[in-house]
């Protein structure tokens, strides 16, 4: 057990050390009525002390990507292909391919929480209503260490203090429903940090919160990342949050990564027509009052009604008939940190 959390991590990996590499990940849901390709060939790298933002509209596969990494996809979902390479111990251990591990294997259980932790999208459903927050944090601690009850309790209080919960000695004995939304999310983060993970996946950690509370939580995550050299995967559909938080960005549409690159390039030189359209269509607080927004025509198709070829082609302003609706564009590498999947930039096989 690390001595204290308030200090910087003693043997923190150098910022930028690659910790997690996802390659060609595919997770499908097969049912009688068809196959939902929830995640369909996703690749990215996550580095220590850096934030990878995954952005995309509802149903594009962000949560399933996170769940696939941790091997907790609900049935009938299954990882069909791809690799998830984790370098444990913050980049010091021998790489393991998580996609190969059985979801209930001892190795996988040792990784969950200890190496990679997840802050869930629905804070209320990821708590038990019948235990105090303290008990739930203590359970997470004792799962991965041989701390005594007293040690775990002290650690739980310390964790709550770390994430900015006021009067942690008292709060530790409260039940989740007694907490406000913002506090609950802080406790979620405390729980995720219980075993000092190297990778933190935050799935829409602030979507249910007000902007002022969101600002508090984002601030907290940035601070924790700096202290602990956390590799952070931040999942959101809010481009503003991505712009403020991410170093690298993955843009997803219908299970595919359409574009990947450094945050500045994504916002100031977007390549993929979807990224371009998305950026034009988001309302901005910087806009002139009462101005129309550019729109993307149509709406996201039902996952069982997936368009042929490039999944974006029915809505794409640059659609090339006979090309885009025939084959799926392959990923074109633009430079070592940028990739785009579109026929405008090659994308042929």
Residues that bind other proteins (CB under 8 A): 32-34, 57-58, 166, 180-183, 210-216, 218-219, 237-244, 246, 263-264, 267-268, 277-279, 281-296, 299-300, 302, 304-305
Q: Kindly provide the b/e burial profile for residues 120-135, where b requires at least 16 CB atoms within 10 angstroms of the residue's own CB.
A: bbebeebbeeeebbbb
Q: How many helices (H) and strands (E) does the chain have?
A: 11, 12
Spatial distance between the Cα atoms of 247 and 265, rounded to a whole number of angstroms: 10
Nearer to ligand SF4, 227 or 306 (CB): 306
Radius of gyration of the chain (CA): 21
Size of site (CB under 6 A) for ligand ATP: 16
Q: Is 256 in the site for ligand ATP (CB under 6 A)?
A: no
Interaction between residue 60 and ligand SF4 (CB under 6 A) = no
143 touches ligand SF4 by CB under 6 A? no
The binder of ligand SF4 chosen from 21, 319, 327, 332 (CB under 6 A): 319
Contact 220, 186 (CB under 8 A): yes
Q: How far apart are CA 153 and CA 169, in angstroms?
A: 10
- CB of 209 closer than 8 Å to CB of 183: no
Residue 267: name its binding partner from other proteins, ligand SF4, Mg ion, none (Cβ under 5 to 8 Å by kind).
other proteins
Three-state DSSP state, 164:
coil
Choosing from 83, 238, 244, 318, the residue that interacts with ligand SF4 (CB under 6 A) is 318
- Name the residue nearer to ligand SF4 (CB basis): 193 or 254: 254
Determine, following the binding rule CB under 6 A, whether residue 63 of this chain makes contact with ligand ATP.
Answer: yes
Check residue 155 for interaction with ligand SF4 (CB under 6 A).
no
Distance of alpha carbon 120 from the chain centroid: 10
User: Which of helix, strand or coil describes residue 342?
Assistant: coil
Query: Of the candidates 9, 6, 4, 202, which has an alpha carbon nearest to the alpha carbon of residue 122?
Result: 202
In whole angstroms, the minimum distance from the beta carbon of 237 to Mg ion comes to: 9
When asked if residue 182 is in the footprint of ligand ATP (CB under 6 A), the reply is: no
Which partner from the list other proteins, ligand SF4, ligand ATP, none does 306 bind, CB cut-off 5 to 8 Å by kind? none
Residue 63 interacts with which of Mg ion, ligand SF4, other proteins, none, CB < 5 to 8 Å by class: Mg ion
Q: Which element (helix H / strand E) includes 95?
A: none
318 binds, among ligand ATP, other proteins, ligand SF4, none (CB under 5 to 8 A by kind): ligand SF4
Give whichever of 138 and 296 is closer to ligand SF4, judged by the CB atom.
296
329 touches ligand SF4 by CB under 6 A:
yes
Q: Is the dihedral of CA 144, 147, 153, 158 positive or negative?
A: negative
Phi first, then psi, for residue 53 (nearest 5°) are: -95, 130
The structure tokens listed for 163 are 């994430």
Q: Which token pair is 58?
A: 């509802």
Q: What is the contact surface with ligand ATP in residues (CB under 6 A)?
A: 29, 36, 38, 56, 58-64, 74, 77, 121, 237, 303
Q: What is the contact surface with Mg ion in residues (CB under 5 A)?
A: 63
């Amino acid at each position: 057990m690390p001595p204290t959390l308030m200090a910087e991590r003693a043997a923190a990996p150098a910022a930028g050390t690659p910790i997690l590499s996802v390659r060609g990940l595919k997770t499908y849901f097969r049912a009688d009525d068809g196959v939902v390709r929830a995640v369909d060939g996703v690749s990215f790298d996550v580095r220590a002390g850096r934030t990878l933002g995954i952005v995309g509209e509802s149903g594009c596969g962000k949560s399933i990507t996170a769940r696939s990494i941790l091997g907790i996809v609900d049935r009938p979902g299954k990882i069909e292909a791809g690799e998830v390479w984790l370098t444990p111990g913050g980049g010091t251990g021998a790489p393991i391919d998580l996609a190969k591990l059985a979801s209930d294997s001892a190795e996988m259980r040792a990784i969950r929480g200890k190496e990679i932790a997840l802050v869930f999208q629905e804070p209320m459903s990821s708590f038990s209503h019948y235990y105090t927050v303290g008990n739930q944090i203590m359970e997470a601690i004792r799962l991965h260490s041989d701390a005594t009850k007293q040690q775990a309790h002290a650690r739980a209080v310390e964790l709550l203090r770390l994430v900015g919960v006021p009067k942690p000695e008292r709060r530790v004995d409260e039940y989740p429903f007694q907490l406000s939304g913002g506090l609950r999310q802080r406790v979620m983060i405390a729980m995720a940090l219980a075993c000092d993970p190297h990778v933190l996946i935050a799935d829409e950690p602030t979507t249910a919160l007000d902007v002022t509370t969101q600002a508090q939580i984002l601030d907290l995550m940035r601070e924790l990342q700096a202290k602990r050299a956390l590799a952070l995967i931040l999942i959101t559909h809010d481009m503003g949050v991505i712009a403020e938080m991410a170093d690298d960005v993955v843009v997803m549409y219908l299970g595919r990564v359409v574009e990947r690159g450094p945050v500045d390039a994504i916002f100031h030189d977007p390549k993929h027509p979807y990224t371009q359209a998305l950026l034009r269509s988001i309302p901005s607080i910087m806009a002139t009052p009462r101005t129309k927004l550019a729109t993307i025509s149509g709406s996201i198709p039902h996952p069982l009604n997936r368009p042929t070829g490039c999944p974006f082609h029915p809505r794409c302003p640059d659609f090339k008939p006979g090309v885009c609706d025939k084959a799926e564009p392959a990923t074109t590498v633009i430079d070592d940190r940028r990739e785009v999947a579109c026929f405008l930039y090659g994308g042929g096989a």
